Every structure is written in C-alpha cells, then in structure tokens.
Amino acid sequence: MLRALPVRTRRRTAVLAAAVLAGVLVVVLVTAWPGGGSGNTTTVDGNPSAVLYTAGHRPLAPGFTGTTLTGSQLSSSSYRGHVVVLNFWGSWCVPCREEATTLAAVAGRYRPAGVSFLGVDVRDTTASAQAFVNQFHVGYPSVGDASSVITADFSDVVPIAGTPTTLVIDRTGHIAGAVFGTVTYSDLTAILAKVTAKGG
Amino acid sequence: MTDVRAPESDPFDPAAERDDPPRPGPGSPGGGAFGLADWLKWAWRQLTSMRIALILLFLLAVGTVPGSILPQQGADPAAVQQYYVSHPGLAPWLNRLGLFNVFAAPWFAAIYLLLFASLIGCVVPRTFRLAGSTRSLPPRAPRNLSRLPRSAEYVTTLPPAAAAAVAAKVLSGHGFRLRRPAAGEDAGATGETGPGNGHWVSAEKGYLREAGNLLFHLALLGLLVSVALGGLFGYKADRLLVQGQTFADTTSALDEFHPGRFVTGADLARFTMTLNQFTASYISTGQQRGQPSAFDARVTYTEQPGGPARTGHLAVNRPLSVDGAKVYLIGHGYAPVFKVTDARGQVVYDQATPFVAGATGNFLSEGVVKVPDAQPDQLGFTGVFVPTAANVGGTLESVFPAADNPVVSLIGYAGNLGENAGPAQSVYELDTAGMKRLTASPQALAPGQSLKLPGDRGTITFTGYVPWVSLAITHDPGQLPALICGMAALGGLLLSFMVRRRRVFVRARASQPGAGENGTTVQVGGLARTDASGSFEAEFAALAAELKSAHEQAAPGEPAVSPQPEGE
C-alpha cells in the first residue's frame, strides 16, 4: 500500500508510526480498563454487591406513587422522616424467593427502630404477587410496577440491573445503601445499623 | 485497499523513484548492525504494505467465521451452555481461544487494530504526497512530442507565441492545469536551440484519481471507526411485550441487554412504550394461504419520563425512532390467558402467558405455566396453543395461523418446580424432575373452558388470548457514519477507476525555412497513465481537433488572443 518513501519523509513516518502506536496503546488501555469504580461507595464486609454511600454522595431517591397489591394508593412522600428499605422483587424471580424469609426477619427486627419496609413488585401480576406474599408471609406493602416505570426512575440514580435489588433510604430521602442481588441477613443489618444510628 | 498505482516505473511520479532508498531487511547485506530502530522501521514498512493489509483484511473476514459457526455468548448464551454439555472436552479449549465470544476476543481486536494501524500508515503519507503533487506543476514539455503515445501535428499561420497562447487557452478551458515556460526558460536557456523552441504548453489533468483513491482509504478507515463506535457506545436489547402491557426501557424491564463496552444501563433511552393493539393479517385463499400479508403494531410511547404520550406504528422493517434508539418489530405470537385457582380456592395465577411458535407452521405455539405459590403443591403446565384447530387423524393440528378456532392443550404437573433455589430458569421450560404428572393425556380447552385438576388441587381456566410482539431496541451511533463512509468508499473507488491522470503537451515551432513565411508547426502530444478503456485516444483526438480549429479561427485577420504569453 505504501511504497518506499522519499528520504525526507522517513523521519516524519517514524514520528507518525510512534504516534499511531501510542494511539493504539491508549485505545487498548482504555478498552481493557475495568469499568465502574466510583469513590462514592464503600462495601459492606468487602462484598461488592452490598454498598454504603458515603455521606454527601447519597443520591436522592426519586419520588413515586402507585397502587399496592391490595388496591390502595401509596405515595413515597408518606415515608419521609423514616428509614425505608425498598425491595425490588417479582414473584417470578427465583432469588427473590430465596431472600424473602431474610427480608421478613430483618423487617421484624428493625420495626421497633422505626424502619419501614416497602416492596416494588416488578413485571408481575397482582394474582401471582399476592400468592407470593401469602406464601412467604410478607408483612409489608408492595407497589405494583408491572411496567418497570418506578424501577426505571430509580435506575437513573443507582445501577439497578434487575431483581432482587434492595435500597436503604435514609430519613432525608437519600439512598444510603444498596444490595444488588440476594440480600444476606448480615449485609442488610450492617447497612441498617449504620443508617439508623444517630446522624446516619 | 485497491492500489491502482502502477507497480514499477511510474512516469507520473519521478520523485518517488529518484528518492527511493533501498529497502532494508533483516537479511540485507552490509550496513553493519541492524538495530532496534531499523527493526521497527522494517516492521512498520511491512505493516503498512498492501500485502499485509490484504492479509489482515482476509484474517478479519476469516475471524468472523467461527462467530457464525459456533454459538456466541452474546447472542445465545443458552446455546453455548448446550455446546458445553455436548462437547465437554472441546468446549473449554474453544473458550480459551475466545471462540464463544469472537468479537470480544483479544486476537480479533489485534487483527482489527493492526488493520487500523496499517490503513493509517498508508493513508497519512499518501495524503502528504497528494498535497505535494497538487502544489507541484506539470513537467516541462518533452522536446519531441511525436514520441509520445498520442501525437498530432499541423501547421498554422499564427506565430509560435500566439499559437502557444491559443493552445493554453483551449487546454485551460478543459480544466487542465498548465505550465508555460518561465521567463528565463525561453529558447536557449534549456539547451534547446532554434527559434521559438520555448513556445510550449504543458497541461495535466486527473488529480482526482489519487484523491479518489485516498478518499477510498480514508472512508475505509472511517468505516472501521464507525463500527468501533457502534461496538463501544451502542447497545442492543430485546423485549417481549404482550398487548396491553407497558414497559419502561430500563435494564430490569428488558429480556436481553447487550451493551457496548462503554454503555451501562444508565445510558439507555428513557422511553416507555405500550402495545395498544397488534394485528397480523394472513392470506386466506390460494397457493399463498397462511402466508402473512401485513403486520401492524399500534403503540403509545413517551420519549422522556413524564413526557407527552405519542402514538406510533411498528411494522416489519419499519422501526420507530424513540429518543435516539430504534425499536424494531422482530416477532410475534399468541399469549393465552390462564387463571389458576389452587386447592384453597385462591387465585394464584391470572395472566397472559406468551407461547412461542414452533417450526411446524401455522403458529402452533408452545409454552409453560408456572404457579410457584399454589397450595399445597406448586403447579406447572406445559401447553400447546393451536390458533385454528382441526382434528387431523385424532391429533390437534393448526390449519391457519390466525386465531379462528383457538384451542389450548395442557398437561398438568404438581410438585416442586425447582425454583426456590438455584439458578434462574427459562420461562419457556418446565423442569418436571420433581413433579408428578397429573393427567395421562393432554387436555384440550376452548376459550372459557376450565380443567379441574385431579386430587382437588384446583382448576385452570383458559380465559382467552392476546397477541404479543417481540421488540429489538438498538442504538448504534456508528450507523450513519458507517453509511456515509460506505458511500464515500464507493465514490472514491469509482473516481479512482474512472478518472485517468493524463498529460497533453503543445509545442509551437517556427516551421523549417521554405515551408512558408509565417508558418508555425504545432505539435500536440499526449499520454495517459492507465488507459484500459482506450477512451484517452478519443479524448486526445478531440482535443487535437479543437486545438487545430482554434488555431485556424485565430489565424486569419486579427489574432483572437494576445500574442504575448500570458503571465506566469
């Protein structure tokens, strides 16, 4: 493609070659660099799927209204001033079944501390969701989100890849902690201990 | 990649030949040590050679072959799993070579980036050379024009200077770049003797050829960049949407999401879309009976959260552009609606369940109903949806794809769905390992009919059906640049094939004594570089004729142009 160059352009070619190789190197480094890695979160017990947002970097939780599985209207604004555990789930979601008893246990333990639990029932139907609630004796309400509109609003501020995802919202309505995937008793209680603590 | 340059001696590029240094190679004798710098130069020269570029292009093409033969992680992860099961020895090795994810494999990136570097290394010096050649003047006219491939000669009564001026005017009128003798270059200065030897015109045309060639290479480079752009910043997602349902374009609402390297769920277009109605029309008579004639999906969408609701239509190959993404209609099917009541009389399932058409035709569709929260045992059903059912020799068959006589055939199971732990399951498959079959033979239900499950386990009712569509949501920022680059590449290629670099020279000499008092011999010569089509012969003949007639017109009476050569 390139015939041997005149002598006067050989130096230029060498410079160009170096520039191109450097460019290729940059592209390779950039594409190979691991993504993510923001300084706004710390992990709980070194588990990267359970995080605490550092004070001052807590994203504001979007407000929402919806219909609960029992047909009543629910607005997120009525939870202001409370620590809220918001669990995104679906009756079709296998890991949600695994964590259902854990959530019920943590909800029972933190009820005296004034922590409210609220479910967001994603891509589900009322009949199936209500059967799930009966099966696992879920004692807290869930807002139906068949269209994922509420989930989408939250996805703008925290990376919700799917269900289950559990967010802990502090008294000021900011997201203080998150568990991406199945919650464990120790992770969720560790986050709640921090958030419910004075000044948390 | 097409190098239209003449491989060896090139009369149009004498500079390149003159300055051509001997190519050093690892085996080149003499010159002492072949240092690192020389190795690098040698490697660079090899990389930017056309041969290597062609090999790389070929490798790129070959590299995509395993991607179409072997299942790919990105496109069909289930098929990859299946391959592991059926080829337990081979699969791990193929995986080590990245053959289950070819386009993300390091070796594929290596080919890609090397081709990239090769193209850059080819195009950049070429651009400089073209820039240089557009600044430089055509060469001086050779002394003897009759030696050129094309030549003509005639006599005019114009004096040589005027004849040259007329010729210059004609040639520049045809878009040739001209060179006239400089002031000191007139007779004698160049060793040419004889009166009026300095009256010549040198004209060149067809620089667009190299420009086209360059455009082609640049466009190819642009094409690679565009594809990379799409791969890095684009995404592709799938979503099955039942009529009446709404979905927001967010990761958890998508069935499949294949983001580019720099794309996360936060980069998705933030639209919501509702499928209001889907209609599929089929040809009902004749040879084409059962063939689809039209699909139409009527949707309502908002481009931004809380934005105004708009309505739109989706059809095959007629995507809807929403907030920078394109939504394609890629499939459809039937979703029978089932209502399941368990042993305690609770409604534990009430929803449209998408069934997928099999290969048998006429939309005979299969699906699965899972009722994990039924009491006392979990329930599961495998079903077949028959849009237009007919009893053919004792078995249900679908005779038409439209739902003219819909029937569902179900086999019920009770037990453990295997869902309370373990990996996520496909919604289209029922793991019956821990389940007991409830009925010996499939039970057929028409809309509205119920099936009482044996052992007082409850009932399942086939309440009706709705259509579903499957949507592909794509965002490819490289699409438009790729189209533009593709067209530019084609244009460049055409230019470099169709435009010939050609030169025409005119020399006007005072005729030999005795030929006439004012006689001037005009010699016209021409040569084209590659002239496979032979059209330069015709062009030259026309030019020579035009020059001759211009000279004849200018010759009688007053000269049409100033006899003085126009200033250089």
pLDDT on residue B108? 85
pLDDT on residue B420? 61
Radius of gyration of chain A (CA): 24
Closest CB from B128, B232, B253 relative to A152: B253
Comparing alpha-carbon positions, the chain A residue that sits nearest to B125 is A13
Q: Quick one: tokens of B381? A: 């059903």
Report d(CA B16, CA B4) in Å as an integer: 16
Whole-angstrom CA distances from B460 to A93, A134, B303, B333 are 22, 20, 39, 21
Whether residues A75 and A136 fall in one domain = yes
User: Taking CB atoms and an 8 Å limit, are A152 and B126 in contact across chains?
Assistant: no
Comparing alpha-carbon positions, the chain B residue that sits nearest to A149 is B248
Amino acid symbol at B21: P
Residue B250 pairs in a beta bridge with: none
User: Taking CB atoms and an 8 Å limit, are B250 and A21 in contact across chains?
Assistant: no
Q: Where are the beta strands (DSSP E) in B108-255?
A: 150-156, 177-179, 200-205, 235-242, 246-248
Q: Supply φ then ψ for residue B142, to 5 degrees.
A: -65, 160
Q: Does A4 touch chain B (CB under 8 A)?
A: yes
**In this structure, are strands A142-145 and A115-122 parallel, antiparallel, or unpaired?**
parallel
User: Taking CB atoms and an 8 Å limit, are B252 and A155 in contact across chains?
Assistant: yes
Whether residues A71 and A147 fall in one domain = yes
Whether residues A18 and A47 fall in one domain = no
Q: Does B249 touch chain A (CB under 8 A)?
A: yes
Report d(CA B254, CA B474) in Å as an integer: 12
Q: Where are the beta strands (DSSP E) in B126-271?
A: 150-156, 177-179, 200-205, 235-242, 246-248, 256-259
pTM above 0.90, yes or no: no
User: Taking CB atoms and an 8 Å limit, are B305 and A149 in contact across chains?
Assistant: yes
DSSP structural state of residue B515 = S
Q: Where are the beta strands (DSSP E) in B319-433?
A: 320-322, 325-341, 347-352, 356-357, 365-371, 378-386, 389-392, 395-398, 407-416
- Cβ(B370)–Cβ(B427) below 8 Å: yes
**In this structure, are strands B200-205 and B177-179 parallel, antiparallel, or unpaired?**
antiparallel
Contacts of residue A95 in chain B, CB cutoff 8 Å?
424
User: Taking CB atoms and an 8 Å limit, are A94 and B421 in contact across chains?
Assistant: yes
Annotated domain spans of chain B: 14-135, 145-206+500-554, 340-465
Whole-angstrom CA distances from A66 to A74, A148, A151, B304 are 5, 12, 12, 19
pLDDT on residue B244? 95
Q: Say how many CA atoms lie within 13 Å of B208 toward its Cβ.
A: 13
3-class DSSP assignment, residue B222: helix
Q: Is B522 exposed, middle or buried (0-12, 13-18, 19+ CB in 10 A)?
A: buried
Q: Does B351 touch chain A (CB under 8 A)?
A: yes
The answer to which of A134-138, B80-84, B302-306, B421-425 has the lowest mean pLDDT is B421-425
Contacts of residue B217 in chain A, CB cutoff 8 Å?
1
Q: What is the mean pLDDT of residues B364-382?
A: 93
Report d(CA A198, CA B12) in Å as an integer: 85
Whole-angstrom CA distances from B179 to A50, B141, B164, B301, B565 are 77, 9, 11, 66, 11
Q: Give the best-scoring range by mean pLDDT among A38-47, B72-81, B493-502, B515-524.
A: B493-502
Q: Which domain holds residue A159?
A: 41-196
Structural domains counted in chain A: 2
pLDDT at B362 over 50: yes
DSSP structural state of residue B405 = B
Q: Does B251 touch chain A (CB under 8 A)?
A: yes
pLDDT on residue A200? 58
Comparing alpha-carbon positions, the chain B residue that sits nearest to A11 is B41
Whether residues A8 and A50 fall in one domain = no
Report d(CA B546, CA B503) in Å as an integer: 16
pLDDT at B84 over 90: no
Whether residues A130 and A61 fall in one domain = yes
Closest CB from A24, A31, A131 relative to B373: A131
Q: What percent of chain B has pLDDT over 90?
A: 31
pLDDT at A160 over 50: yes
pLDDT on residue B237? 92
Contacts of residue B8 in chain A, CB cutoff 8 Å?
none
User: Taking CB atoms and an 8 Å limit, are B372 and A91 in contact across chains?
Assistant: yes
pLDDT on residue A14? 61
Whether residues A25 and A83 fall in one domain = no
Count the helix, strand and coil residues of chain B and give each as a percent rounded to the nearest 5.
30, 30, 40
Tell me: ipTM over 0.90. Answer: no
pLDDT at B564 over 90: no
Residue B334 pairs in a beta bridge with: B467
Per-residue pLDDT reduced to its tens digit, B15-58: 333 334 444 444 444 455 778 888 888 888 888 888 888 898 88
Q: How far is B352 from chain A (nearest CA, A)?
A: 10
pLDDT at B538 over 80: yes
The answer to which of A91-95, B465-469, B552-556 has the lowest mean pLDDT is B552-556
Closest CB from A16, A31, A94 relative to B124: A16
CATH code of residue A81:
3.40.30.10
Whether residues A78 and A166 fall in one domain = yes
> With a CB-CB cutoff of 8 Å, which residues 149-178 of chain A face chain B?
149, 151-153, 155-156, 159-163, 165
Q: What is the fold of B145-206+500-554?
A: TATA-Binding Protein (3.30.310)
Regarding predicted confidence, which is higher, B561 or B526?
B526
Whether residues A2 and A23 fall in one domain = yes
Mean of all residue pLDDT scores within chain B: 82
pLDDT at B1 over 50: no
Whether residues A28 and A51 fall in one domain = no
Whether residues A27 and A54 fall in one domain = no
Contacts of residue A16 in chain B, CB cutoff 8 Å?
120-121, 124-125
User: Taking CB atoms and an 8 Å limit, are B265 and A35 in contact across chains?
Assistant: no
Within 10 angstroms of residue B46's Cβ, the number of other Cβ atoms is 12
Whether residues A70 and A157 fall in one domain = yes
Q: Quick one: tokens of A92? A: 């079709």
Best of B41, B123, B252, B420 to substitute, by most chain A Cβ atoms within 10 angstroms, is: B252
Measured at the CA of B36, the angle between CA B34 and CA B42, to 5 degrees, comes to: 75
Regarding predicted confidence, which is higher, B28 or A169?
A169
Per-residue pLDDT reduced to its tens digit, B137-162: 888 888 888 888 889 988 888 888 88
Which is it for the CA torsion B140, B141, B144, B147, positive or negative?
positive
Whether residues A19 and A78 fall in one domain = no
User: Taking CB atoms and an 8 Å limit, are B44 and A13 in contact across chains?
Assistant: yes
Q: Does A93 touch chain B (CB under 8 A)?
A: yes
Q: Cα B363 vs. chain centroid, distance in angstroms?
A: 34
Tell me how far apart the 2 most distant CA atoms of chain A are, in Å. Answer: 84
